[in-house]
Amino acid sequence: MKHSRKVDIGRGAQITQLGLGTAPLGGLFTSVSESQGSALVRTALATGIHFFDTAPHYGKGTAERRLGTALAGVPRSSFTISTKVGRLLVPSDGSDDPDFADADTSTMRVFDFSAQGVVQSLEESLERLGLDSVEMVLIHDPDDFADQAIGQAFPALAKLRDQGIIKAIGVGMNQSAIPTRFVHETDIDFVLIAGRYTLLDQSAALDLLPAALDRGVSIIAAGVFNSGVLANPVPGSHFNYAPASPEIIAKAQALEVLFEEFGVSLEQAAVQFPLQHPAIKAVLVGCRTEQEVKANIVAFDADIPQSAWSALNKFLTANGGVNG
């Protein structure tokens, strides 16, 4: 398995099978310096990762600005960017952000899935990135606005796609029901699904993944470590952005033991597992340091015998999981 292998998404977008998510560039949970952010982006490029996913949500524009700074001077044809729409950043009187340590405190997020809001969001993202265009645009977290996102946001992006301004339209969420609606009700190109097709949670296999296969929609898997418990299953680790329960930790530890019998680490299995399903074309990982980038590449490229996946399938069947 090669992290630098290219796959096609939408109408001409190409991404590497392993991509870099940039929420950490916005200071997700822990602050990241400007120099640290630039170094990890440049390390990703130098080691064969040429797909970067970002969003206005990440640090209220901080991640986009830092990504743009890191990519300044890099040949534009050598990387692919996806950003997101659905949240506008508007001036505020200043407030801390509990999730993003490096957030811009002079702005606040406002959900807007209208056609005008989508176009405005993309224009502002391009300004922060310092770019004339991005290849891929996702409708971000329309949990409470599904009808508007399908009826207004998607058609606005489809016009941009028809004009060749963007190459692929996606929806990015951490639930599968609304993305499945997009697959059935629009001609969306891809879905970024976070945390719903992992070693601990295969719920997307019940609706989204079969629908995507049927309609020819590409899936990109994110959140493959379920917020960290699949990277280090110990008390105090997190599962889906909250402290992991003893039951979740025990299940992750059982998976760790299972894979150790085949000489495979839990991290290697977690980052490669989504690609065992034919609907999933790529994996997105968030990294905070150059060392994490390199470690994820090593894990992604490691050889895992088919016997290990067969053992996993038996484990999932016995423990109420879903075989892809």
Q: What is the C-alpha separation between 176 and 217, in angstroms, rounded?
A: 14
Selecting among 51, 52, 58, 100, the annotated active-site residue is: 58
| Phi, psi dihedrals of residue 92, rounded to the nearest 5° | -140, 175
Closest-CA residue to 256 (of 305, 303, 312, 204): 312
Q: What is the C-alpha separation between 265 and 273, in angstroms, rounded?
A: 12
Element (H, E) at 82: strand 80-85
Element (H, E) at 154: helix 154-162
Asked about 197 being catalytic, the answer comes back as no
Closest-CA residue to 159 (of 180, 178, 132, 187): 187
Residues making up the chain, counted from first to last: 324
Q: What is the C-alpha separation between 243 and 229, in angstroms, rounded?
A: 9
Q: What is the C-alpha separation between 189 and 25, in angstroms, rounded?
A: 26
Closest-CA residue to 225 (of 6, 13, 88, 21): 21
Residue 142 token pair: 């329309």
Label residue 48 exposed, middle or buried (CB < 10 Å: 0-12, 13-18, 19+).
middle
Q: What is the C-alpha separation between 161 and 152, in angstroms, rounded?
A: 15
List active site positions: 58
